[in-house]
Amino acid sequence: MGDGLRRGARAFEFLFGVALLVAASACSSGSGGSGETTSAVAGSMGTTTTSTGTTGSTATSASSNSTSGGGGPSSSGSEGSTSAGGTTTTAAASTTGSGGSGGSGGGADEVYPFPANAPDEDGSSLWLRYPELPIPERLAEYRAGLTHVVGSGASPTLQIAEAELVRGLSGLTGSELTLSPELTGAGAVVVGTPESSSVVAGLGDRLAALGSEGYLVEALDVGGQAAIVVAANTDIGALYGSFALLRHLQSHRGLDGLSLTSAPKIKLRLLDHWDNLDGSIERGYAGRSLWNWSALPGTVSPRYTEYARANASIGINGAVLNNVNADAEILTSAYLEKVKALADVFRPYGIKVYLTARFSAPLEIGGQSTADPADSGVQGWWQEKVEEIYGLIPDFGGFLVKANSEGQPGPGDYGRTHADGANMLADALEPFGGIVMWRAFVYSDETPSDRIRQAYDEFKPLDGQFRENVMVQAKNGALDFQPREPFHPLFGGMPQTPIALELQVTKEYLGEDTHLAYLGPLYEEVLSADTYAEGEGSSVARVVDGTVYGHALSAMAGVANVGSDANWTGSHMNQANWYVFGRLAWDPDASSRELAAEWVRQTFSNDPLVVGPVADMLQMSRQALVDYMTPLGLVHIMATDHHYGPGPWVNDLDRDDWNPTYYHRADADGIGFDRTASGSNAIEQYFTPVRDMFSSRESVPEDFLLFFHRVSWQDTLASGRSVWEELVYRYSHGVDQVGVMRDTWAGVEQRIDAERFGEVAEFLQIQHWEARWWRDACLQYFGQVAGLALPSGYAEPANALGFYQGLDCPADATKPRCDPIYSGEPSPAILP
């Protein structure tokens, strides 16, 4: 039994290329279930709460009705089942099959003991925990099959790979493994490259397809002895392969027939840190910056190594160290010495360092009288600066630039274009192999008719004018990292320019540190959206990985969510967003649900009564948040500056397009922003048939309705409800989904350590109250504007509109905590 490939019904249905998840399952008892559940299981005694939630619709799906409470596909399956009394569980291991971590590892029906008194954990180990296997059969298999690590120690990177294998395998097997230069019997784990290992050299052509970062991990017979070989063309490939093997083992999968092969689809997989030189982090909710600039370069914190190790484990190969709202000082010689110290730590982990370049640096720190890119003195200054950088950091990655946006200096200050500015820097970097990532997040100083049009309108005409080592970097949506936005029309819109995808990992608009919102479904929704740039199949993923237009350069960047907090990311659950970003940057076609399960296995437990329910909870969380914050295509109705709570009434900010009222346009007649031909016509920036789909009231996905259309309050939706009724339903449903999440989490109590259990439970409690705050405030406001009352069957908002408008929180934007607006158990928003 327990073939790892044997799986129950899969939870994914594909509508026009996008995964639409509807969770439903029953929990049986006795017989071993297989496959992954999509249910949210409440309670530790095997009771089941069936939840519906979706990963949402896509820009290319005809409709999703994701939260309309009916319709939509469903599937069921269970990852495991309780035995009598709920103290043990039976599971079939399954492979993830995504991002190269799957493979044909076996699995067995395994009994997971209830982990009495699991030691408390503070989260600092992330997903790189290697606890001894609690399953006797599997433990015996690992002890027999993983006896020693064989490596040459030929380079710092190989030494790291070998040490990680020794550490991981020793932990998982509960016995100290040794590292040796030769095979000394059965159970060797051989790691290396053709240069460092004769065993790997013997694989010959099989390594050809792996490229410079891929790996092959395989159970092989070496000289009559069973061994596992971790092979790659390069040292960094061998390190990635080592982490892939450990991931497989941390998921308690079998060794028989083990075969994992993977190479990244995207070349540059970067974290962008919005870290300031004073140690603060713009939009950071996990403490202070990791980089202790005042202590560098003399003091090099061990945390830098831990950071690099964690990134390498998920394939991240670059870090932009400082904020895009840049300080020129980072380019001074004193700071470059500090940057070099970090680059030296990161190098053996395959991580290149990049910096943001403040466009006015020649003026501010270079003694120039201008920063005009056409000025030869300015060009010379940048060339010398770049030479200085490469003198210290020979593998420096290049510059990321935010120019002429939100007050940042740029070539526009001198009447030059973005291409003029980017090309000047690109010319300086080119001799050294460096690149420029020029951000497309721009909007002009004058309030436009429709802000979301601007990036495309400004950049599209420049297509073909950028140097070969320039990438234009666009956010996933044309507005600004909202809980849900249609994909940015620049994806596919600039055939001659490689476009990098910028995602936000830190949750500026999605509840920051406290609210649970797993971003895998958001990323997946964007990556799988079809741009139709070169006909069907031109998904954002294919544009970004360079295949649609044949670009060699490809990049995905995530705005980092890490900081000095012990748990790295401000909450335990936010670690999943760092993880899923890295894994999707490696393989943008991987399934967010499978990656959620993969993360849960490594981070919390392989107990199926943890894996299935918690992965489901993660998977439903983003849709729940969209529903209680910005349903039906609403965007940017957050409170001013900190963006934490609701502020749909705000209408007095300096720029019209900073006001929530600019975006939702609600009045007595209706709500929504007309971006069709009768309005701003932003839909013309998309290719047909996407343009037509968004343009028509009949075919626009309801999740984007108010983003593209202005409709009356009485307009009827697919559910049969009016727009007003649907808003009330979705806001309420979102709140109640947080209740389901809380119940789900309650079900894992005692199956994981008490410390992390308690901290997550506390945040879910806050989220439940604050979801109610969002819902009550928004419904009070929109109801008043529309002159409509709540339909029957819903809980009345707890307070009058003025109460919410008068709230002034959070006091500290970096650790947002408001005084509880509610207390006790929130009652259901949809009345039973």
Look at residues 412, 402, 405, 393 and name the one whose alpha carbon lies nearest to residue 322: 402
Cβ of 684: how many Cβ atoms within 10 Å? 14
Residues 650-689 that bind ligand GCW (CB under 6 A): none
Residues 403-422 that bind ligand GCW (CB under 6 A): 406
Round to whole Å and give the CA distance between 707 and 45: 44
Nearer to ligand GCW, 224 or 407 (CB): 407
The SS3 of residue 55 is coil
Name the residue with the smallest CB distance to ligand GCW. 480
Tell which positions 87-106 bind ligand GCW, by CB under 6 A.
none
Residue number with CB closer to ligand GCW (68 or 405): 405
Q: Give me 626's structure tokens.
A: 């969209």
Least distance to ligand GCW from the beta carbon of 509, Å? 8
# residues contacting ligand GCW (CB under 6 A)? 11
How far apart CA 492 and CA 473 sit, in angstroms, is 13
Among 88, 175, 225, 325, which residue sits at the site for ligand GCW (rule: CB under 6 A)?
325
**Residue 438 found at the interface with ligand GCW (CB under 6 A):** no
In the complex with ligand GCW, the residue whose CB is nearer, 386 or 503, is: 503
Task: Lay out the site mask for ligand GCW across 503-542 (x = CB under 6 A, - = otherwise).
Answer: -----x----------------------------------
CB distance 255 to 137 below 8 Å? no
Between 754 and 813, CB nearer to ligand GCW: 813
Q: How far is the CB of 205 from ligand GCW (least distance, A)?
A: 45
Name residues contacting ligand GCW, limited to 139-178 (CB under 6 A).
none
Token pair in block for residue 820:
């509880």
Residue 368 phi, psi (nearest 5): -85, 160
How near is the Cβ of 315 to ligand GCW at its closest, in Å? 24
Query: DSSP secondary-structure letter at 23?
Result: B
* Residue from 481, 579, 628, 757 in contact with ligand GCW (CB under 6 A): 481
Q: Is 402 in the site for ligand GCW (CB under 6 A)?
A: yes
480 an active-site residue? Answer: yes
Task: Give the 3-state secondary structure of residue 515.
Answer: coil
In angstroms, the CA 382 to CA 376 distance is 10
Phi-psi sector, 17: left (phi>0), alpha (psi -120 to 50), beta: left
Tally of CB atoms within 10 A around 795: 18
Q: Which is nearer to ligand GCW, 441 or 579 (CB)?
A: 441
221 labelled catalytic: no
Structure tokens at 361: 């640096």
β-strand partners of 559:
272, 504
Report the 10 Å Cβ neighbour count for 638.
Answer: 23
> Which residue(s) pair with 558 in the sheet?
271, 503
Angle between helices 608-629 and 723-746 (to 10 degrees): 150
Pick the catalytic residue from 137, 406, 468, 825: 406
Active site residue 508: yes
3-state helix, strand, coil in the chain (%, to 5): 35, 15, 50
CA atoms within 13 A of residue 475's CA, in its CB half-sphere? 18
Closest distance to ligand GCW from the beta carbon of 671 (Å): 23
Closest CB to ligand GCW among 219 and 557?
557
The residue from 142, 215, 441, 663 that contacts ligand GCW (CB under 6 A) is 441
DSSP string across 176-225: --EEESS--STTEEEEE-TTT-HHHHTTGGGGGGGTTT-EEEEEEEETTE
- DSSP per residue over 368-396, as a string? -S---TT-HHHHHHHHHHHHHHHHH-TT-
**Does residue number 396 form part of the binding site for ligand GCW (CB under 6 A)?**
no
Of positions 203, 246, 324, 428, contacts ligand GCW by CB under 6 A: 324
Task: Compute the distance between CA of residue 412 and CA of residue 242 in angstroms, rounded to an integer.
Answer: 47
Q: Smaller CB distance to ligand GCW: residue 313 or 476?
A: 476
Q: Would you give the binding string for ligand GCW spanning residues 228-267, x where CB under 6 A is met?
A: ----------------------------------------
Catalytic residue among 36, 218, 502, 508: 508
Non-local (6+) Cβ contacts of 820 within 8 A are 766, 769
Q: 481 or 731: whose CB is closer to ligand GCW?
A: 481
480 is a contact residue toward ligand GCW (CB under 6 A): yes
Q: Least distance from C-beta 373 to ligand GCW, angstroms?
A: 21
Report 271-290 residues binding ligand GCW (CB under 6 A). 274, 282-283
Q: Token digits for 140?
A: 């015996």
- Which tokens go with 125? 């180990």
Task: Please identify, using beta-carbon distances, which residue of 23 and 452 lies nearer to ligand GCW.
Answer: 452
Taking the complex as a whole, the smallest distance from the CB of residue 323 to ligand GCW amounts, in Å, to: 6
Site string for ligand GCW, 442-471 (x = CB under 6 A): ------------------------------
Instruction: Provide the annotated active-site residues.
Output: 406, 480, 508
Footprint of ligand GCW (CB under 6 A): 274, 282-283, 324-325, 402, 406, 441, 480-481, 508
